[in-house]
Structure 1
Amino acid sequence: MLKKCFLGLLACFMVTVLAIGGGFWGLKWYAGQPVKIAMEQPFTIEKGDSLGRVASRLAEVGVLAYPQAFSVMGRVLGKAGSLRAGDYLIMPNSSLLDVFTLFTEGRVRYYDIALIEGHTLTEAITSLNQHPKLTDPLRPDALPAFYQSLGIQGSPEGLFYPDTYFFEAGTPVAAILTRAHKRLQTVLDEEWQGKAENLPFENAYQALVMASLVEKETGAAFERPDIAGVFVRRLQRNMRLQSDPTVIYGMGKRYEGNLSRKMLREKTPYNTYVINGLPPTPIALVGREAIHAALHPAGGETLYFVAKGDGTHFFSESLIEHNRAVRKYQVTERRDDYRSRVVN
């Protein structure tokens, strides 16, 4: 009788062991199965989503079959409550275990936005505010407090570095601008430390102002040092800079696309046809190359330049030579496809 009971218990134990072993083998097999997609699949886990809800939605978008098994896999792994909210990108060569690990390790999808050299800060903030994956847009009434929090006194123009910034969905606009401000400070300090000698700048901020003029005037990148050289020599000789972009910036929203002689004579703090020296602030976002050019201007005797219409400029040493070039490139031989930037 005891022998029969023992054999019965042993049989039950073996069945249980086989069932458990089969279950683990089955889950291991399931975890190694590839996802059922041929292309990248965006997927979002919202705050508060349960493992079951995530599994069901994965099945709905065609990533996997048998969502209940996906939930069981998560519970067996002891991480059913470890899913992290965020946007993800599921790759077509992933296994189901890869997908689960993606969610529990929080390897979220990153987005990017570019702040463009030569754009104004207003244009940059508008672009940031319109990005669908950034949150908490900065409205005009909130900007003064934000600038104050960064320690900016006076105009914030030019104090943010143009670059491509990567971020998670839900990042506030202010976080991107904070990174851009810190980056600008770092780059400007690095470039200022290595500046050339005998430059007409009292501090790094004045160099930044000059760099913004170089940024706005340059159509071909290789001309930055030449344009900086012209402006630096004009400053050194107490000549007015006579830069059209400064006039346009000073006019603000009143500028509608064409400069007139009247506009060039209008006195604003930024009209370098009227004022002496540099404008009071930068007029645009400035990249490292423009800052470097302002601090390492090309040598020579040129004091003037005029756009040739192909994105490059003709540089002159004398006003007579400059006036001839203006007539040639702007009047008698003006290109039908006239443009201010080089076409790549």
Structure 2
Amino acid sequence: MIKKLALFILLLALAAAGGAYWAYGQIEGYVAGPINSESDTLIVVPEGANYHSFTRKLVADNVINASPWTRWAAKTHPEMTQLKAGTYLVEPGTSLSDLFALVRTGKEHQFSITFVEGSTFKQWREELAASDYLEHDSSGLSEKQIAEKLGLNGDKIEGLLLPETYHYVAGESDLSVLKRANTQLERALKTAWGSREEGLPIKSEYELLTLASIIEKETAVDAEREKVASVFVNRLNKRMRLQTDPTVIYGMGDKYDGNIRKKDLRTPTPYNTYVISGLPPTPIAMPGKASILAAANPADTPYFYFVADGLGGHKFSKTLTEHNRAVRQYLKTLRSQ
């Protein structure tokens, strides 16, 4: 009788062990299985979320399927209960355990926003407003108010932000992005100012930035930047008006419809360098590092004029006669295209 009881207990123990082993296998298969996604998926872990509330959210969002093994997974894998709030990017085929490993690191997905050289602050605001996952704290603020938030003097931000790609995490303020862009600009400007050519007709870093913005708007050809800079420096040294169309366009503001007419060249604005002498009062765009360096170190040339050659570059001239000839050739090239 005792032997039979012992055998029965042994069988029960074996059955229990077998059941536990089977259950453990089911749990391991569950946590090792892929999530329901065929493309990159953004996963948000809310503030204050715990394992159970987060898994319920994953089920509700159809990231994972409901399973009786969900609550048991937290028992066999207690590390899965360690969550850090944030927004994470999960790739297709990611297992549930890898998903939890990711959110345990706190390494949130980095979104990016790119500002191109020569863009204006107005365009930057449009880019920021259209960017997802940013807190749009600058919305509704005037340019002057934004400048105050960034700790800048004056009420104009044009030119004071360095155009490049910036990364941010979900929920970050757009003012934070602008602050970093200003910090990067100040570094680039300080470097250029410290290595500038002696004798430039430029009195301050801000004037250098203003000149750089004009260079940026006049050419996108890297090999031409120093030559374009030399034309403006030569004209400033001779007290000639800069007579550059981008300043006219900037001064026209919303009145610009894509064309510059003769009356526009004659209409006074603080930025119309066909009318005013010297540099305009502020930059007219956000210059990149290359244009800032070109403004600080222009080429040594005899040129006072340049015009588009119709082939993507410019023709540089020493005299007005040469320049007029280049203009006629440019118009001829345009007609033949």
TM-score, normalisation: structure 1: 0.85
Structure 2 stretches of 5 or more lacking a match?
none
Amino acid at match of 1:262: K
Give the direction of change, closer, same or farther, for the CA distance of 1:242–1:177 in structure 2 (3 Å limit).
same
Q: Who is 1:173 aligned against?
A: 174
Distance in 1, Cα, partners of 2:75 & 2:305:
73
Q: Who is 1:215 aligned against?
A: 216
What is the correspondence of 1:25-174 to structure 2 with a 5 Å cutoff?
27-35=27-35, 37-59=37-59, 63-65=63-65, 67-79=67-79, 82-154=82-154, 155-174=156-175
Q: Secondary structure at the match of 2:163?
A: coil
Give the direction of change, closer, same or farther, for the CA distance of 1:44–1:244 in structure 2 (3 Å limit).
same
- Displacement of 1:185 in angstroms is 0.7
Structure 1 stretches of 5 or more lacking a match?
338-344
Q: 1:54-92: per-residue Cα shift (whole Å, max 9, x none)?
A: 324544666544544344323544456543333322123
Q: Is the 8 A contact 1:56 1:67 kept in 2?
A: no
Q: 1:291-334: per-residue Cα shift (whole Å, max 9, x none)?
A: 0111121121111011122321111111000011112212x332
Identity of aligned residues (%): 37
Q: Secondary structure at the match of 2:306?
A: strand
Q: Secondary structure at the match of 2:167?
A: strand
Over aligned residues, Cα RMSD in angstroms? 2.9
Give the direction of change, closer, same or farther, for the CA distance of 1:233–1:95 in structure 2 (3 Å limit).
same
* Range that drifts further, 193-202 or 286-295: 193-202
- Displacement of 1:163 in angstroms is 0.8
Give the direction of change, closer, same or farther, for the CA distance of 1:293–1:74 in structure 2 (3 Å limit).
farther
Give the direction of change, closer, same or farther, for the CA distance of 1:38–1:267 in structure 2 (3 Å limit).
closer
Amino acid at match of 2:39: M
Q: Is the 8 A contact 1:134 1:173 kept in 2?
A: yes
Distance in 1, Cα, partners of 2:94 & 2:103:
13
Distance in 2, Cα, partners of 1:71 & 1:234:
76
Distance in 2, Cα, partners of 1:71 & 1:308:
71
Q: Who is 2:283 aligned against?
A: 282
Amino acid at match of 2:73: M
Q: Is the 8 A contact 1:212 1:283 kept in 2?
A: yes
Amino acid at match of 2:88: Y
* Range that drifts further, 179-188 or 302-311: 302-311
Q: Is the 8 A contact 2:208 2:292 kept in 1?
A: yes
What is the correspondence of 1:189-338 to structure 2 with a 5 Å cutoff?
189-330=190-331, 332-335=332-335
Distance in 1, Cα, partners of 2:147 & 2:83:
36
Distance in 2, Cα, partners of 1:137 & 1:126:
13
Amino acid at match of 1:225: E
Q: Secondary structure at the match of 1:242?
A: coil
Q: Is the 8 A contact 1:55 1:67 kept in 2?
A: no
Q: Secondary structure at the match of 2:151?
A: coil
Give the direction of change, closer, same or farther, for the CA distance of 1:5–1:230 in structure 2 (3 Å limit).
same
Distance in 1, Cα, partners of 2:236 & 2:88:
53
Distance in 1, Cα, partners of 2:48 & 2:10:
45
- Displacement of 1:51 in angstroms is 2.8
Query: How many residues get paired?
Result: 336
Amino acid at match of 1:327: R
Amino acid at match of 1:46: P
Q: Secondary structure at the match of 2:334?
A: coil
